Amino acid sequence: MQRHIGVHMSDDEMKLVEPADEVAFRSPVPTQMVSNGEYNPIPQTEQQAQVESLIKEMADVQAKRHGMDRRTFLATNAGMATAFLAMNKVFGPVFDVSEAEAGDMEMSNYRRAQLANQFIFDDQTHFIRDDFKQEGLLGLTKWAVGAKVNPRISEAPMTLARYKMDNYLKEIFLDSDTKMSLLSGAPFDDPSWWLLSNDAIQNACRAVNKMAGNTRMLGHTVITPKYPNWMDEVDRGIEQLKPVSWKSYTIGDPFGPSKYAWRLDDEKLMYPFYEKAIKSGINTICIHKGLMPRDYEKAFAGTWESATVNDLGKAAKDWPGMNFVIYHAAIRPWLADAPDREMAEFEKTGYIQWATDLARIPEKFGVNNVYAEVGTTFASTAVTNPRFCGALLGQLVNLMGAERVVWGTDSVWYGSPQWQIEALRRLEIPEDIMKKQGWKTRLGGPNSEVKQKIFGLNSAHLYGLDMKVATGPAFPPDKLADIKAEYLAMGGDTGRSNATYGYVAKKTAA
Amino acid sequence: MLKQSAVLAALAATLLTSSAWAEQRDERAGNCDDAKKQMDYFCNRENSANDTMVAVGTACTNARKNLAAACEGVIEEDQAYKFDDK
């Protein structure tokens, strides 16, 4: 078998795999781990094999009914519904989908059209500056390819171009139902890794909003406590940049142990900032928390505690005029390294590492200014272990309140967020978990009050947007909507091939 | 007496030197042992099979610098927020 550029597996390792696009089943929902060539793919699990078998079986029946082949059927909305149906049969009833929807093209297309106007505010998005050269960042997308979480992930080439502004606009505003986004940045100890400058963030927002003739994109100003001139940038933010909120990293650098780690409750360092922020009216700060490797005590020795939320309660209580939006819901596992293990722990103890600590803060400290955002956390659990994803969302909604959970996808790292949107629309907390935990609040249907709040109304409240209803004409048509309509009319949304590229384990190698 | 004074002087010099050396170490990203653990994890490419963060690659650079700062007293100047692009 030919070894492609960038494939690092040895000759012996190559004997154990096959090309995914030739042998892997083209499913709308992942059924097998695919490697990008940098590591050995984990053989298909028993549950994944069951899902795949069921999808094939059900799709064959439906495809025959509709006079098409299986692959064509699976590229339709009914095909997507079929895949969720198969997942339910294996993982339990987690996704809201019916046999009728899977078998009826009109019904599945109608459902998608009915939800197209849903107000979706993506609270965490990124793109990179044009001169960004660190190809290692593509590891994020390679993970998404390997984990098979986004069936359309391979439609854009595996180059840094997929992270740049033009593809960001396409993936978020044309290929998904997202209506507004919050553009962010990130600091790194190595300055060549900075994604965007604070000026570039605001300039992008101005350009997009001017083009749209509407407010579609809001922007952060990244602050860097412990850097020598960090408060100067705060002042510049207040006076010139005027972001809607601040963004920061208590861990200092999201991808490595940093000398700039700090705490939210550091009175000397942070309290002067909170005072200034409140006075300026820019009183929301979004903070990266969690997302640590399994061996975090070694990997981030000496700094990992800054990634927990043990500094949050006191700061939130001391500064009730600030809003603290905790990104990734502070979940510890980076990219769901072992979701089955995390689920087993939750079933036993009701505890999800660091996310449960966050969920308990409002009651423990008597505060109502703490929010959980689900970027990357949702993406990495919705398909790999949907039951765990339901447990996590259930805990956030029931312990913090549905008005304290905000939608974010960490796009554009994992491709277009439409698959994540569709998964949340269908997700429900399993009934046995509801009963065992004594929870009262369910997620509800695709446009339930709870999901409207998560998808957009909570962020609208945080950022002072005049949004009372999360569907329909509350969001006015604009130039960007016109462009999307034209894009869809030209067939822009129908290219789903469900193909993946890379390597899968040979059946005999399992 | 002279021999005793020499020993004391040598001891004082050693203490002064190690104290000065300790002051020059930068332990903000963890002490020397911590930095060794960081490097052992992030600079081992075998770990990239199970951890995308290792594969991304910037953490190994951080760990090397942290080790130099905490173990060898090789301290880089703190960076200021500064960008040329707008």
DSSP β-ladder status, A217-222 and A245-249: parallel
* pLDDT for A477: 83
CA dihedral A243, A247, A252, A257 (to 10 degrees): -130
Closest among A426, A313, A229, A134 to B57, alpha carbons compared: A134
pLDDT surpasses 50 at A36: no
By C-alpha distance, the chain A residue nearest B75 is: A259
Q: For an interface test with A, which of B45, B53, B79 has the most A Cβ atoms less than 10 Å from its Cβ?
A: B53
Compute the count of residue pairs across chains A and B with CB atoms less than 8 Å apart.
142
Number of alpha carbons in the 13 Å side-chain half-sphere of residue A386: 30
Residues of A in contact with B33 (CB under 8 A): 301
Q: Flag whether pLDDT at A37 surpasses 50.
A: no
Out of A129, A261, A299, whose CB is closest to B41? A299
DSSP character at residue A212: H
**CA dist list (Å): A277 to A198, A317, A325:** 16, 16, 15
Two tokens, residue A122: 């993506």
- Cα separation of A493 and B86, whole Å? 33
List the A217-222 sheet strands across, edge first.
A121-125, A180-183, A217-222, A245-249, A284-288, A323-327, A370-373, A405-406
Confidence of residue A491 (pLDDT cuts 50, 70, 90): confident
Of B55, B59, B81, the CB nearest to A227: B81
The minimum CA-CA distance between B47 and chain A, rounded to whole Å, is: 10
- List, in sequence order, every residue forming a beta bridge with A247; answer none if it has no partner: A222, A286
Mean pLDDT of A483-491: 88
A246 in contact with chain B, both atoms CB, cutoff 8 A: no
What rounded mean pLDDT belongs to chain A? 85
Query: Please, are residues A359 and A400 in contact by the beta-carbon 8 Å criterion?
Result: yes
Nearest to A176 by CA among A221, A125, A228: A125
At B6 the pLDDT is 58
Say which residues have a Cβ less than 8 Å from residue B61's Cβ, sequence separation at least 6: A189, A190, A256
Q: What is the mean pLDDT of residues A479-484?
A: 93
pLDDT at site B3: 58
- At A330 the pLDDT is 98
Kindly state the tokens that stand for A115.
């939800």
pLDDT in the model for residue A147:
64
Q: What is the pLDDT of residues A7-31, one digit of tens each?
A: 444 455 445 555 544 555 555 554 5
Taking the model in full, what pTM does it have? 0.86
Top residue of A241, A298, A306, A380 to mutate, by most chain B CBs within 10 Å, is A298
Question: What is the least distance, in Å, from the CA of A365 to any CA of chain B?
Answer: 29
More confident residue, A48 or A398: A398
Q: Does A395 touch chain B (CB under 8 A)?
A: no
d(CA A449, CA A431): 19
Work out the average pLDDT over A304-309: 98
Chain A residues whose CB is inside 8 A of the B46 CB are: none
The predicted-structure confidence for A362-392, as pLDDT tens digits, reads as follows 999 999 999 999 998 998 888 778 999 999 9
Cβ-proximal residues to A97 (8 Å cutoff; 6+ apart), any chain: A81, A84, A85, A88, A426
pLDDT tens digit string along B37-79?
Answer: 999 999 998 887 777 788 888 999 999 999 999 999 999 989 8
Following CA atoms A334, A337, A339, A341 in sequence, which dihedral angle do they give, to the nearest 10 degrees? -110
Which stretch, A21-35, A419-433, A480-494, has highest mean pLDDT?
A: A419-433
Which chain B residue has its CA at the smallest distance from A140's CA? Answer: B52
Q: Does the structure show a pLDDT above 60 at A416?
A: yes
List, in order, residues 6 or more apart from A184 with CB less than 8 Å away: A124, A125, A126, A201, A219, A220, A222, A247, A286
Verify cis geometry, omega within 30 degrees of 0, for the bond prior to A412. Answer: yes
The whole-number pLDDT of residue A140 equals: 76
pLDDT score of B39? 96
How does residue B10 score in pLDDT terms, banded at 50, 70 and 90?
Answer: low
Q: What is the mean pLDDT of chain B?
A: 79
Tell me which of A42-46, A149-153, A224-228 is least confident: A42-46
Contact A293 B35 (CB under 8 A): no
Cα(A324)–Cα(A287) distance, integer angstroms: 7
Segment A51-65 shows an average pLDDT of: 89
The CA distance from A129 to the nearest CA of chain B, in Å, is: 9
**Where in A85-157 does DSSP place strands (E)?**
121-125
| Separation between Cα atoms, residue B79 and residue A370, nearest integer Å | 31
Q: Which of A 316-345 lie inside 8 A of B, CB atoms?
A: 334-335, 337
Say which residue, A213 or A37, is predicted with more confidence: A213
pLDDT tens profile A228-275? 999 999 999 999 999 999 999 999 999 999 999 999 999 999 999 999
Tell me: pLDDT of B81 over 50. Answer: yes
